[in-house]
Amino acid sequence: MARKLLLDKINIEHIRLYDVYRQRGGYTAVEKALKSMSPDQVTEEVKRSGLRGRGGAGFPTGMKWGFLAKPEGVPRYLVCNADESEPGTFKDRYLMEFIPHLLIEGLIVSSYAIGSNRTYIYIRGEFAWIIDILEQAIAEAKNNGWLGKNILGSGFDCEVYVHRGAGAYICGEETALIESLEGKRGYPRIKPPFPAVKGLWDCPTVVNNVETLAAIVPIINNGGEEYAKIGIGKSTGTKLVSACGNIKKPGVYEIEMNISVEEFIYNDEYCGGIANGRRLKACVPGGSSVPILPANLLLKTAKGETRMMTYESLSDGGFQTGSMMGSGGFIVLDEDQCVVRNTLTFARFYRHESCGQCSPCREGTGWMERILHNIEYGKGKMSDIDLLWDIQSKIEGNTICPLGDAAAWPVAAAIRHFRDEFEWHVTNPDDALRRNYGLGNYAEPLQVMHSA
Amino acid sequence: MAEEKKIFKVTIDNITIEVEPGTTILQAARRIGGDVVPPAMCYYSKLKGSGGKCRTCLVRVAAGSTADPRPMPKLVASCRTNVMDGMVVESMTNNTVLEARKAVVEFLLINHPLDCPVCDQAGECDLQDLSYDHGRESTRYEFERRTFERHDLGPYIQLHMTRCILCFRCVFAADQLTNKRAHGILDRGDHSEIATYIEKSLDNDFIGNVIDVCPVGALTDRTFRFKNRVWFAKPVEADRSCTKCSGKVRLWMRSDR
Ligand SMILES: Cc1cc2nc3c(=O)[nH]c(=O)nc-3n(C[C@H](O)[C@H](O)[C@H](O)COP(=O)(O)O)c2cc1C
Ligand code: SF4
Ligand code: SF4
Ligand code: FES
């Protein structure tokens, strides 16, 4: 069995409640940090752990905290990004719902490191029942002296507030989140300035993902060095992966970042293989925003190496032949699934969620959706495929926030790797309405190019 | 030692000029003038916070500064990017920039009604100029265009949302010039619209400015409607006796003399 650092106690009855959580060793990280470490020492420990942000971009957390501006007399804020709305990603929800005190504990330690006396959890509004769970956990923590004034006699004050979103994916983007938290429309800000300098109410702010902040607890308990021993290279520690699609055992898994993609899909400890005896066709390994890969490129890199569940290995080959760890939403497609339809579904999502501030994203996402709709419903033309390619390439990189890129990448990757299937829809419009393209040669071993 | 006044050298399309720190690339380009000036739709120099949205003014920064000469990884909005000393910028001389610009124009036009013949803004429309200078000859968009109902926002202003490019300039203008903004943007994405939420008239003394800052014919003057064409109007120095503002007033009016 793989080591678990976040979900090790998840099956203990009533672990959601403070008393049980505390009896099982909860809040020792707060004790350790506040009683025996300075805020800078906490940050150093996080740097040593090699922890990378779990919200999507994978930016080293310790370094991010180190960048925070610290002008005299200006408050600093920590904001926990619990807006989790990426199609395919549902790991934060699981963590918050079943072991909320782990997040609260991580938040207190992180707030101490950053110097945030008022810390916010910005949570996706649809998670209505989890908001209640978190508020209960916060109240319990406060009643037991872990929040409030002068915590554990350390002189450190901290309050945690839950703020609920109102149903916009874009509010997961950190600057849109900050705007929304300030009570404005959730429009991403034009950067610079970055939140580390001017964030919430123009004060220095750190925005971190739920899982990132929860991981601070084992890092402080066991030391950053211990944490860094798990995993490969710069992918240290454990990672929550929410697996869904055509697998036998969908769910949230905590993995050590040293297993292969193949093992993750086929091992009974994880996904347990493809459901109903079908074969693997494709996979979106990191949530809807990351490039889709055909089975052959998913299991092996273009160099013929085994692809691992790490940041580096998943992105090996760049966008030409690789993908990304993203937010850990692992979506598996079997041979009966249609890649065009899948791409259309994603495109519809991004069109709906574009905030509409910048023209390439506002207009381009809708255009792509319409073309994909035509292709999927047997009304596409060959030239539409090139047009789609051109549109996505004109959105990518030309927008205010990364949602534009996130809308472009899935379309680009689908065309790059599954062009046959798109063309088949155009040349066989009647078939396309009745059946799917099938597996094609997407699982066949690739010829490995050896460089001279 | 006397405080030395800092001056930044910036090179745009091989032309070097000196500007003060805090100048944006767009402002620097406008100082040079001519072809190097990127087109700008959403930026309005007098409005705080404007710009950055339409993406027509994208340029490439080939070198960030003398201190850090690395190129910037993406194209940047020149209206919201400050120059640094030794910065090298490519506008007209970079093909990626020209392609991106063309694409932005196309994006702005796919849902535009192209009703210039019946639009009061025709002749002084930034979008017309932009399409003429940077657009394609025909459209690749084969779908029904987005439409909205036409609205009268009070006695003086008419809103043709179909023509709006969501530059946000009218919102900034109302925020910064009038004492209470009564309109804004409703909804999001490609279904966003300028609206007063509850049907309301815009009747502030300064609200007429929103017509002026609107780069297209989305906000037009109801009293002017179909009465004239801008190219028939001539500037006349006007007399004004108003307690609320000061300064010169120039009136554009039709006159046969
Ligand atoms: C459109 C969009 C949506 C995002 N949604 C989320 C989200 O739901 N949760 C999250 O943690 N990060 C999300 N992010 C990433 C955040 O902007 C930010 O990078 C992250 O919260 C940083 O935390 P980390 O360093 O701990 O990963 C999103 C980014 C974009 C562009
Ligand atoms: S890229 Fe899309 S979501 Fe992001 S600011 Fe622009 S319009 Fe809004
Ligand atoms: S109405 Fe005019 S000024 Fe207002 S956002 Fe639309 S185009 Fe811009
Ligand atoms: S003018 Fe610069 S983005 Fe619109």
Q: Where are the domains of chain B?
A: 8-105, 114-230
CB atoms B103 and A360 under 8 Å: yes
Query: Do A219 and A130 lie in a common domain?
Result: yes
Contacts of A421 (CB under 8 A, 6+ apart): A338, A339, A340, A437, A440
Contacts of B135 (CB under 8 A, 6+ apart): B102, B105, B106, B109
Helix A339-353 and helix A403-427, axial crossing angle in degrees, nearest 10: 150
State how far residue A416 is from chain B, nearest Cα, in angstroms. 21
CATH number for A393 = 1.20.1440.230
Instruction: Report in angstroms the alpha-carbon separations of B140 from A407, A452, B106, B190.
Output: 20, 43, 9, 18
Query: Do A65 and A174 lie in a common domain?
Result: yes
Residue A363 lies in a domain: yes
Pocket test for ligand 2, best of A355, A392, A409 (most atoms within 8 A of CB): A355
Instruction: Write out pLDDT tens, residues A201-210.
Output: 999 999 999 9
Q: What residues of chain A lie within 8 A of the CB of B165, using their CB?
A: 359
Residue A13 lies in a domain: no
Q: For B219, phi and psi rounded to 5 degrees?
A: -115, 115
Give residues 179 to 208 of A whose Cβ lies within 8 Å of B.
Answer: 185, 190
Is there a contact between A209 and A53 (Cβ–Cβ < 8 Å)? yes
Gap from CA of B184 to ligand 1 centroid (Å): 27
Scanning every residue of chain B, which has its alpha carbon at the shortest distance from the alpha carbon of A188? B53
Instruction: Write out pLDDT tens, residues A372-405.
Output: 999 999 999 999 999 999 999 999 999 999 999 9
Range of the domain at A46: 18-229
Scanning every residue of chain B, which has its alpha carbon at the shortest distance from the alpha carbon of A373? B143
Is there a contact between B94 and B14 (Cβ–Cβ < 8 Å)? no
- Fold for domain B8-105? Ubiquitin-like (UB roll) (3.10.20)
Distance CA A59, CA A209 (A): 11
Instruction: Write out pLDDT tens, residues B114-160.
Output: 999 999 999 989 999 999 998 888 889 999 999 999 989 888 999 99
Instruction: Write out pLDDT tens, residues A7-22.
Output: 999 999 999 999 999 9
Instruction: Write out pLDDT tens, residues B57-106.
Output: 999 999 999 999 999 999 999 999 999 999 999 999 999 999 999 999 99
Query: Do A124 and A46 lie in a common domain?
Result: yes
Instruction: Report in angstroms the alpha-carbon separations of A333 from A148, A337, A341, A356, A410.
Output: 48, 6, 11, 31, 14
Residue A452 lies in a domain: no
Query: Do A200 and A325 lie in a common domain?
Result: no
Distance CA A297, CA B96 (A): 30
- Fold for domain B114-230? Alpha-Beta Plaits (3.30.70)
3-state secondary structure (DSSP) of residue A94: helix
Cβ neighbours, 10 Å, residue B200: 12
**Residue closest to A210 by CA, chosen among A335, A387, A86:** A86
End-to-end CA distance of chain B: 61
CB atoms A370 and B75 under 8 Å: no
Confidence of residue B251 (pLDDT cuts 50, 70, 90): confident
Residue A268: Cβ-neighbour burial (10 angstroms; 0-12, 13-18, 19+):
exposed
Residue A286 lies in a domain: yes
Instruction: Write out pLDDT tens, residues A47-78.
Output: 999 999 999 999 999 999 999 999 999 999 99
| Domain's final residue, options A198, A229, A260 | A229
Confidence of residue B235 (pLDDT cuts 50, 70, 90): confident
pLDDT score recorded for residue B203:
83
Reading the block at residue B20, the tokens are 């003060």
CB atoms B189 and A397 under 8 Å: no
Query: Do A31 and A130 lie in a common domain?
Result: yes
Question: pLDDT: is B229 or A200 the higher one?
Answer: A200
| Domain's final residue, options A229, A259, A274 | A229
pLDDT score recorded for residue A329:
97
Distance CA B172, CA B170 (A): 5
Query: Do A358 and A399 lie in a common domain?
Result: yes
Residue A447 lies in a domain: no
Distance CA A186, CA A81 (A): 14
pLDDT score recorded for residue B3:
61
pLDDT score recorded for residue B154:
87
Strand pairing of B157-160 and B150-153? antiparallel
3-state secondary structure (DSSP) of residue A376: helix
Query: Do A307 and A374 lie in a common domain?
Result: no
Residue A10 lies in a domain: no
CB atoms B103 and A355 under 8 Å: no
Q: Length of chain A, please?
A: 452
pLDDT score recorded for residue B227:
80
**CA A177 to ligand 1: nearest atom:** 17
Mean pLDDT of chain A: 96
3-state secondary structure (DSSP) of residue A334: strand
Query: Do A329 and A392 lie in a common domain?
Result: no
Continuous segment of H or E residues that includes residue A137: helix A128-143
Strand pairing of A159-164 and A116-123? parallel
Give residues 343 to 402 of A whose Cβ lies within 8 Å of B.
Answer: 351-360, 362-367, 370, 387, 394, 397-400
pLDDT score recorded for residue A452:
46
Bridge partners, residue B193, by sequence: B186
pLDDT score recorded for residue B202:
83
Q: In total, how many domains does chain A have?
A: 3
Residue A5 lies in a domain: no
Lowest mean pLDDT among A106-115, B129-138, B156-165: B129-138
Distance CA A110, CA A113 (A): 5
DSSP state of A275: G
The string over A427-436, giving b where at least 16 C-beta atoms fall within 10 Å of a residue's C-beta and e elsewhere, is eeeeebeeeb
This complex has an ipTM of 0.91
Q: What residues of chain A lie within 8 A of the CB of B189, using their CB?
A: 351-356, 362, 365-366
Continuous segment of H or E residues that includes residue A266: helix A261-266
Q: Length of chain B, please?
A: 257
Distance CA A100, CA A135 (A): 9
pLDDT score recorded for residue B146:
93
Distance CA B49, CA A164 (A): 27
Give the ranges where A311-338 is alpha helix by DSSP (H).
311-314, 318-321
Q: For A217, phi and psi rounded to 5 degrees?
A: -65, -55
Query: Do A52 and A167 lie in a common domain?
Result: yes
Query: Do A157 and A48 lie in a common domain?
Result: yes
| Domain's final residue, options A292, A309, A334 | A334
Strand pairing of B184-186 and B193-195? antiparallel
